[in-house]
Chains A and B, each alone.
Chain A
């Protein structure tokens, strides 16, 4: 029996001996970084993840483009179930701006998530052995996406930290970069992107939705116009116009239908679909947009009733302008096949109008998951009409009134196609009246598409137009930097003046 006592001791030693390897585990789901970024497919997956950030609009809290562009302007008001429903939006809308709102925080965060993912592509993909043309395109896509997010940041917040590669923990604590440098980075990215990205026509159908040379040029055009670099802007706009890639052949009211997605006038759209199974929450998994449900009326229309068009906005339309009916619902209108717009049917709210461009029909409702948030409408970020109106503005400031008028009239001519009566006659105005015509045309053509507030700011008209809403010149051109970011950097990031 004596040997028995040694047996467990041997067992103990065995258990000890194997213990070290035994607790080394490898992830079985997900790929370790050390074995990724090796193939062409990895490169495509990497850049796709940057695209995914474009879809973020409820990442944390809502930060839709139309929150900033429309609700902050004189075109629409918040809406919702009442003032306590996303109250921060009401405070921002009245320029009583809270500095700690999760709406702006989510915007800031989502933008930098896209920038980070683009930076990862720009850091990792160059070393992958793959087709050089495809590699150049992927790097161009990443640069576009990075520039797009910096454009969002610089127009919403002003100076922001400029991060052009993934940061190590020791580099986290940085302050804001002057916006001139941010603009320079945006311009450089977009110029480089437009040199390597294919035209829209150069992509296969399966790649519809990827950013194009035209998109990069138009984004650069927006950036130049925001900086009032009209001299550089005009030839760029003309190049887009002359590329033959885009036209105004579609009827205005068809642009915002499902069939109208990625249509002949589409320069840059954020792609959404309604069947991805996503739901509320940090919307990494969700390929649908929340815009549809947020903007639909409440009551039997099953929406949340945000972004209520103002009377003033409706009055901006010329009598008989068919674009009004394509932009807003008025009482008595059929809201798709969901029923007729009455106050009672919309939940008893006193609103006279609801936004229409991102309305979708019950028959298009999402088939899976929570139906409501899984909207299908692509976000039309840059349309060809926008390019033409930017051309008009640049040309006007360069003294080229003929080009300006021609561009405006092209836009009006297309709108006229939808009218039964002779309306929207060509403009012949000159001088300051021409500028007002351009401004008017922008407001009605691009109404409720997320442009108005930023247009007013860059045109130096915000203080005048938004005075009633509480806008103060020198303060409210940009929104407050989220308090949390000031704290997280120990004050390296400082607040915008006036907040």
Chain B
């Protein structure tokens, strides 16, 4: 306890200057468990007199007189002021900060008491963010707040998650706006979840409207941790280590089963079976390609934070190292699938004068990501492992990798493909802001905040030389199994952005019961991206460590490119918060945004909002003892969206439409306006109405929140298809409209029974999304390419749910020729055992007119719930989340190839009348096109996942005292331990291939499954 002693000595030196007129003694305890608080600060207000509590939580302080006010503070606890009032003994139980945060909610450009909030704002706090092995902040939000859907886009280490607030309300990029410590940032990959104090999700238009044009998809406000004034310096450490494994293995055919099925499929098509498959049983189990690519992967995190504060300055310094290896390729080569991040943060606040505060937030992040091909139906390791035949071994007899004699093109040996992958993405990003705030008169705060966001990234790719041929002279391996000329690619990215924001915020009272807060502000921001890249081929040394372009010897094949893009925005905004007697709250705001993405006539958009709250419990007439708080909220607002490419309002001549002329075949430039411009392009607008009810029962032990929302998005920006005879690519037009409605419910209960403290909570969201217009004469939009059916699986059209699965509907199998003859014509070679497709238009022929709705990738319901308990130093917490009512297109078998392996359900195939009514006969020719897009591949995507389970133990205070620590907690944690789903693939959490392409969802293209993890960790504080 040296520090405490030193601290005491310091105070003694300073403290003796006052008059010691009386002594106050007492004990500080933790309100939740009654344990004494050691090292808590006790100060006499507006003086430098103070002390810290002893091992048993006791203190003794001399105060100038009986009218003094004592300030009790402790890390993680609410600071409490208590007038001495002549007493000599003052015991105090401090409540934890978390409860405080529930009361004050961060909103755009400020914060508000929960009871005064008039919009729909979801809050996730620090302790909820660290409940699982969350490498990224976006993952940590999974299942935590109603209306916030977080979909792991890929299980690969460091992959971004998709965030959708209140479903999808635009056919453009539906990602929310991220504001970190007031700074608009693109992507939150740089944030360390341990550095986050709180996350507010602005869901309704009125809350988000203060961010105007960019807020159409909702806003996520992230506040990072800082030190606190008058706080003893604190050192906290957390370290954990764990192992991840694949959660589930699929049942595929083994070698003998594979040969059996192949033989039957060949014979059915009138071909001779392959001679080497004449005795399938002799082939045995063969290769388990899943075992070959998946492995146990370590993950680890080390965090050290220093925080504290004097009366005039507070600070936090933290450093973190996080490592996550990927479960694919964990045992193959080095660093094939991996994420490694170093973060450093320095946040500080300073009271220079009574009227002047300054401060900063500064973070530096270095992250390295090694990625394999993922979410790709052509060349991802998952697709290859699921489709390559089990007959082929991983290795040849000589120990080199084998290639399949049956597979070609896409389906290469996945182990070799991983081995030959050298992809590194490294980013150095600095995000920071500095601010100054003056308060010339009480309640008037004038603030100027300048922020910068700079990234220097590099992407290095090396495609080594390899050849799996049995005979390299003959070079007998197929193209995907050899690369005879190696290539090196080096791309460099520099992104810079700045934001300058100036606000005036004035809080004042008019008469006793009218409180006003008026906000006026301006924002200017600009960003620029600068990309330069180069490549070269043929390096004599095939070692990736020497993969530099100067080592390439094909000088004529060295290539380079470079381009730049810029954007800028300028806004003014204002807001009035009015509170009448804690009963009525009215909020009105307006923002005018300018964006460089629109032409001169449409550069500016105006986004108004208004909302109203009524605290019924504060009315005199309200007198229900059990209801401690009840509030009705209503809001309306307009948001915008400008997420389109730059310069769509100009006709730009694009170079690079080249042709080849001359005997030496010179590439000769051609230039043309590829895209039809649209000078009239303007903001996409969404108007949202929200009605909500907050109820607190039994003194806050039970909290219930319900919201209804209705969001209409009009003038959606989309490059809607135009007749091809125009010849130009369609320009972006303000074309489509959609409606998104839904309900959100949240319930929380926390209580203490004896020494057991527990909490349970949950949230559920129902959303319904519909396209109401695609413009005059617009065609439906088809997306979601399915290579094995050579067609698109998703249709977006008026009257359909967004991104609906569209295809043929099956009606069992033909059991005999009579059934084939009786049904509509499918194909002249359709035979018993083939799928009967429904003749939806009853014209006697199965053709494209018979396609219909097969399902939707958008869930009807999303939910999350959690529970926790604390007892005698032990704590246990569990978190679940899931979806219901969504479908998945299982596109993991490449039926366009005849040789692929497949799920072992094919063993139950139709082999004669009555043998099966669901699994069709096998035939390499597949004349009936059983592999066409149909509900055969549509599966129920509903799931419930136990996202996290954590068991911790806090050392008791008695022991902590002896070792002079304030906290030691050890924990074990499991992530994604159990998933209940009917989906037959690896993982029902299906992301998007391209996060910007919002209409391509719910198709399993061979997604990198989310790992199951087990962690042990230690937290310590002193």
The residues of A with any CB-CB pair to B shorter than 8 Å are 1-2, 4-5, 8-9, 11-12, 15-16, 18-20, 22-25, 27-33, 36, 42, 45-55, 81-88, 96, 98-100, 105, 108-109, 112-117, 119-120, 160-161, 163, 166-167, 169, 172-174, 205-210, 262, 271-273, 275-277, 284-285, 287, 298-300, 302, 304, 338-339, 345, 347-348, 350, 362, 365, 367-368, 371-372, 482-485, 487-490, 493
Q: Are B485 and A367 in contact (CB under 8 A)?
A: yes
**Residues on B with beta carbons closer than 8 Å to the beta carbon of A30:** 647, 652-655
B789–A49 contact, CB under 8 A?
A: no
A-B pairs, 3 with minimum CB distance = A116-B727, A48-B670, A49-B670
Select which of B447, B485, B790 is within 8 A of A88 by beta carbon: B790
Once the chains bind, are A23 and B569 in contact (CB under 8 Å)? Answer: yes
B570 to A28, Cβ gap below 8 A? Answer: no
Q: Mark B646-687, 1 if CB is under 8 A from A, else 0.
A: 110011111111111111011111111110110000000000
Given contacts A23-B595, A300-B478, contact A4 B660 (CB under 8 A): no
For A116, give its contact among B564, B600, B654, B726 (CB under 8 Å): B726
* Bound complex: CA A455 to CA B247 (Å): 60
- Report how far A490 CA is from B779 CA in the complex, Å: 9
- The docked-state distance in angstroms from the alpha carbon of A367 to that of B667 is 16
B20 at the interface (CB under 8 A from A): no
> A368 contacts which chain B residues (CB < 8 A)?
485, 487, 535, 537, 557, 559
Flag if A98 contacts B847 (CB, 8 Å). Answer: yes
Given contacts A23-B594, A173-B777, is CB(A12)–CB(B567) below 8 Å? no
Contacting residue for A367 out of B476, B524, B557, CB 8 A? B557
- List chain B residues, Cβ under 8 A from A85: 790, 896-897
A493 to B723 Cα, complex, angstroms? 10
Q: Does B926 contact A (CB under 8 A)?
A: yes
Q: Could you tell me the distance in whole angstroms from the C-beta of A205 to the nearest C-beta in chain B?
A: 5
B728 touches A210 (CB 8 A): no
Query: Which B residues are in CB contact (< 8 Å) with A52?
Result: 657-659, 670
Q: How many Å lie between the Cα of A74 and that of B742 in the bound state?
A: 58
Question: A9 contacts which chain B residues (CB < 8 A)?
Answer: 446, 504
Q: B564 to nearest A CB, angstroms?
A: 5
Contact B438 A287 (CB under 8 A): no
CA A298 to CA B655, docked complex, whole Å: 36
**How many Å lie between the Cα of A275 and that of B664 in the bound state?**
12
A83-B925, A99-B848 known; A488-B440 Cβ under 8 A: no
The answer, among B557, B662, B926, for a CB contact under 8 Å with A207, is B662
The answer to whether the Cβ of B474 comes within 8 Å of any Cβ in the partner chain is: yes
Is B981 positioned at the interface, with any CB of A under 8 Å from its CB?
no
- A454 to B438 alpha-carbon distance, docked (Å): 82
Chain A residue at smallest Cβ distance from B538: A367
Q: Is the CB of B779 within 8 A of A27?
A: no
Chain B residue numbers with a CB within 8 Å of A19 are: 522, 524, 570, 594
Min CB distance B964 to A, Å, is 46
Can you give 28 contacting A-B residue pairs, CB < 8 Å? Answer: A9-B446, A12-B504, A16-B572, A28-B563, A28-B564, A30-B652, A33-B651, A48-B671, A53-B657, A55-B659, A88-B790, A99-B848, A100-B848, A205-B663, A208-B661, A208-B663, A262-B663, A276-B658, A284-B657, A285-B656, A287-B659, A348-B406, A367-B538, A367-B557, A368-B535, A368-B557, A488-B779, A493-B723
A30 to chain B, nearest CB (A): 4
A27 and chain B: residue at smallest CB distance: B647
Q: Which residue of B lies closest to A277 (CB)?
A: B559
Measured between C-beta atoms, what is the minimum distance from A257 to chain B in Å?
15
Given A174-B725, A206-B662, check contact A84 B929 (CB 8 Å): yes
- Is A32 touching B670 in the complex (CB atoms < 8 A)? no
CB pair A29–B847 under 8 Å, yes or no, is: no
Specify which chain B residues have a CB less than 8 angstroms from the CB of A11 in the assembled complex. Answer: 448, 502
A484's nearest neighbour on chain B, judged by CB, is: B779
- CA A105 – CA B790 in complex, angstroms? 14
Give the docked Cα–Cα distance between A114 and B659 (Å): 13
B408 and A298 contact, CB distance less than 8 A: yes
Query: Do the beta carbons of A210 and B661 come within 8 Å of each other?
Result: yes
Q: How far is the CB of A499 from chain B (nearest CB, A)?
A: 10
Closest CB-CB distance, A209 to chain B, in whole Å? 5
| Chain B residues positioned under 8 Å from A115 (CB to CB) | 725, 727
Q: Nearest chain A CB to B892's CB is how many angstroms away?
A: 15
Let me know if B721 is at the binding interface, CB within 8 A: yes
Which residue of A has the minimal Cβ distance to B723? A488
Complex partner residue of A48 from B444, B595, B658, CB under 8 angstroms: B658
Q: Are B723 and A485 interface neighbours, CB within 8 A?
A: yes
A96 CA / B829 CA spacing, docked (Å): 13
Q: Which residues of B contact A54 (CB under 8 A)?
A: 659
Pairwise interchain contact B569-A271, C-beta atoms closer than 8 A: no
Number of interface residues of B (CB under 8 A): 109
* Cβ distance A27 to chain B, nearest Cβ, rounded Å: 5
Which of B355, B665, B898 gathers most chain A CB within 10 Å? B665
Q: Which of B788-844 contact A (CB under 8 A)?
A: 788-790, 827
Contact yes or no, B661 A271, CB < 8 A: yes
The answer, yes or no, to whether B491 is at the interface (CB within 8 Å) is: no
B895 within 8 Å of A by Cβ? yes
A4 touches B896 (CB 8 A): no
Q: Enumerate chain B interface residues (CB-CB to A < 8 A).
A: 271, 274, 355, 406, 408-409, 438, 440-441, 444, 446-448, 474-479, 484-485, 487, 500, 502, 504, 520-522, 524, 526, 535, 537-538, 554, 556-557, 559, 563-570, 572, 594-596, 600, 603, 646-647, 650-663, 665-674, 676-677, 721-728, 776-780, 788-790, 827, 847-848, 895-898, 924-927, 929, 931-932
Instruction: Closest A residue to B792 by CB, please name it.
Output: A102
Q: In the complex, are the beta carbons of A51 and B659 less than 8 A apart? A: yes
Contacts of B668 in A (CB 8 A): 48
Using A11-B448, A120-B673 as known contacts, say yes or no to A302 and B479 having CB atoms under 8 A apart: yes
- Beyond known contacts A5-B441, A25-B567, A367-B538: 19 more, CB 8 A cutoff: A1-B355, A5-B446, A12-B504, A27-B652, A31-B655, A31-B671, A36-B671, A49-B657, A52-B670, A54-B659, A84-B896, A98-B847, A108-B724, A206-B666, A209-B660, A300-B474, A339-B474, A362-B475, A488-B721
In angstroms, how far is the closest chain B Cβ from the Cβ of A341? 14
In this complex, what residue of A is CB-closest to B476?
Answer: A300
Neighbouring B residues of A2 by C-beta, 8 Å: 440
Chain B nearest Cβ from A124, distance in angstroms: 10
Kindly identify which residue among A24, A83, A208 contacts B596, using a CB–CB cutoff of 8 Å.
Answer: A24
Cα–Cα distance between A8 and B355 once the two chains are bound (Å):
14
The interface residues of chain B lying within 8 Å CB-to-CB of A88 are: 790
| CB contact between A84 and one of B500, B570, B650, B790 (< 8 Å): that residue | B790
Q: Is the CB of B522 within 8 A of A12?
A: yes
| Chain B minimum-CB-distance residue to A3 | B440
Q: Are B663 and A36 in contact (CB under 8 A)?
A: no
A372 to B658, CA, bound (A): 20
Given contacts A85-B790, A300-B478, A490-B777, contact A112 B727 (CB under 8 A): yes
Q: How far is the CB of A206 from chain B (nearest CB, A)?
A: 5
CB B501 to nearest CB in A, in angstroms, measures 9
Contact (Cβ within 8 A) B927 A83: yes
CA distance A36 to B671 in the complex (A): 10
The interface residues of chain B lying within 8 Å CB-to-CB of A339 are: 474, 476
CB distance from A70 to the nearest CB of B (A): 20
- Report chain A residues within 8 Å CB of B788: 84
Decide if B502 touches A12 in the complex (CB within 8 Å). Answer: yes
Are the CB atoms of B568 and A22 closer together than 8 Å? yes
Q: Specify which chain B residues have a CB less than 8 angstroms from the CB of A1 in the assembled complex.
A: 355, 440
Q: How far is the CA of A365 from the CA of B483 in the complex (A)?
A: 11
- Shortest beta-carbon distance, A347 to chain B, in Å? 6
- A residues near B441, Cβ cutoff 8 Å: 5
Contact A112:B670 (CB < 8 A) given known A98-B848, A206-B661? no
Asked if residues A46 and B671 are in contact (CB atoms below 8 Å), the reply is yes
Contacts of B570 in A (CB 8 A): 15, 19-20, 22-23
Rounded to whole angstroms, the CA-CA distance of A30 and B672 in the bound complex is 10
For A100, A109, A488, the residue with the greatest tally of chain B CB atoms inside 10 Å of its CB is: A488
Instruction: Among A4, A161, A348, point to the contact of B440 (Cβ < 8 A).
Output: A4
Which of A15, A22, A83 contacts B929, CB < 8 Å? A83
